[in-house]
Amino acid sequence: MNQKNMNMTTNQKVIVAVILGVLVLSLYIKRNMFQSQKHTVQAQEATIDSLKTELDSINAVNKALEDDVAALQYSMHQLDTVIKENEQQISNLKKRKHEKTAAVSKYSSNELIEFLSKRYKPSTTDSTSTN
């Protein structure tokens, strides 16, 4: 029986050794998983920081583009104002031309000759006049 007790003790030692081996192995695996997760988290944090930097850069470019658009819209508004003023001037000139053409077209031939001769009468100080 003593031998049997020793065998039991040896069996118990083997069981304890196996349990300790499994425990050590599980701790080793857990440690490696933690290290792997830690490395993954660090890589993700680096990626996040990189993306934040890139986003800041994109936001700066976007702000500059918004400023350019605002400046171009202001310039476009000014040009629209100038175009409207020019169109109004052209309209006024066309109206005056039409009024003058209408007035001249009412003249008879004699009235037209008289009008033109008065209007473009040579001056007495004109150097091209004959003596």
Cα–Cα dist 107/28, whole Å: 116
pLDDT of residue 31: 82
Lowest mean pLDDT among 56-65, 79-88, 121-130: 121-130
pLDDT winner (highest mean) among 3-7, 69-73, 102-106: 69-73
What ranges do the domains of the chain cover?
A: 2-118
Mean pLDDT of 67-83: 97
Q: Is the pLDDT of residue 4 over 60?
A: no
Interacting residues of 115 by C-beta distance below 8 A, sequence separation 6+: 104, 107
Per-residue DSSP letter, 27? H
Interacting residues of 8 by C-beta distance below 8 A, sequence separation 6+: none
Amino acid at 81: T
pLDDT of residue 43: 86
How far are the Cα atoms of 6, 88, 91, 95, 121 from residue 101, in angstroms, in the given order?
137, 20, 15, 10, 21
Amino acid at 19: I
Q: Residue for token digits 């039409």? A: 98
3-state DSSP assignment of residue 108: coil
The pTM of this model reads 0.47
